[in-house]
Chain A
């Protein structure tokens, strides 16, 4: 009974992920790539998912689309999208959602386009499959999409092959494809990491405008805190497969509470002000096969105490909408 009530309560959200668990069963043991991740996303919002490599941020993105290949498996939790549970859908139903209502932008612009087809063919394929557009109509829409993402003279470039574009231009094409069906959710996994700063700035600006003007939502997965802070409404910070802090962009960036977030922010070199010795988080991310039983950040944490070693801290709300998973955060100044 409680389930129904909860669903109704959360229906203001476009996407609601609860206690998601995705594990990989390898020959060395089980890797809990995503271990109890919960977040929700309102229509029109941009959510930044930040963390270092191996923290499970990409796997979270793939899990939402149920694109987890063996030896990985979604072991538990709920993914509710537009009121429906995605985990209960058949593979066929998922195919209708992927690339249509939810689309994905991958990191590598060099490999996410098929090199043997023209751009037009690749955009029209999506339009045909999900939008039912054909022939002239599809062609016009493809040109329009390319114009939208800022490709100059789209009428002629629509007939280009991927190799005729530069990296930045290809990523624009990929964005165009992902927008083709006006999806309500876009999952962008490190969309600008392979690109130069000036191109990144152009592209993020364009993507931001398009998402906001379509009233779509976006999950922006990246390692770059500065980039996320400039774009997203909310941020979740992940570490070792778990959400360790979440809240609005302003509060997470200006008042970080988890020692990991604090350390991360302090270890980024600044563009202005006096140069200081960079703060460094000592040690490394723990081996995924030998996760500490308690707080996974404990071995590297300056605040660590007995309780941290034994017990995993649950997410607590330290101020409105700002959650942190630390026994000591907010209780002490640091």
Chain B
């Protein structure tokens, strides 16, 4: 098991300081990611779901050290990348890539498609001639389903789906092992979303990729993931194989999350599970379980003590005293 782990995250925290103060006691933090540990196997797709402010994007960016984590360790292929200096970190970019939510804003509007896709090659393959690079760009465009003729055009000339294809082409240019997809299909039209999901699935097989798939859309995550991690206020609530998570969710938050999505069947409008209340202010977290303020089964114990993530089934872990 340990050998095919590509990523192992231990006690990762990312705190944003809102109010600086020399007196540490008086500093105001937002704990966007709070003591998160998990592993990802080679060739797996791990879905990360949660509502806004749950820290899923922060987690994604911290994993690549695009944002510097506050504490914790990240092992990539057995090496702790937290000890990397900026040079080693740059080398690491070859193996870990990030696909952003909004393909438009993740491309420099003043650059042509060729320049955009060639950039990672320029950075790491200085030995390639410009002809070779051009061929490589054409090949990458072909892989993501675009014609090489588009090379001289600018991002704004493309539709959302085409842009996401271009961004994906850039993402796989260096043959990475791990791809973090941050809401990569959320901004797309429904009819285009399916195309991109299929493309991601195809690439995964073709290049033996491992995905971290971050999304707020449970249906998409369910479809694409092997395992799913549910985040709430920066902490893992539950992590389980995706079928198990949907058929037998153990954490009350997972249950309400699944219950609150529509079944998409107008004949059978079962009542949605309504989770009362709102997500608490992340600056002012509840003392015990972060979900205790909204949890239908919370007890005094939940409000006082923080439950730890523990096994609750086969490959299934939840942080709840009553799971």
A and B held together in a complex: no
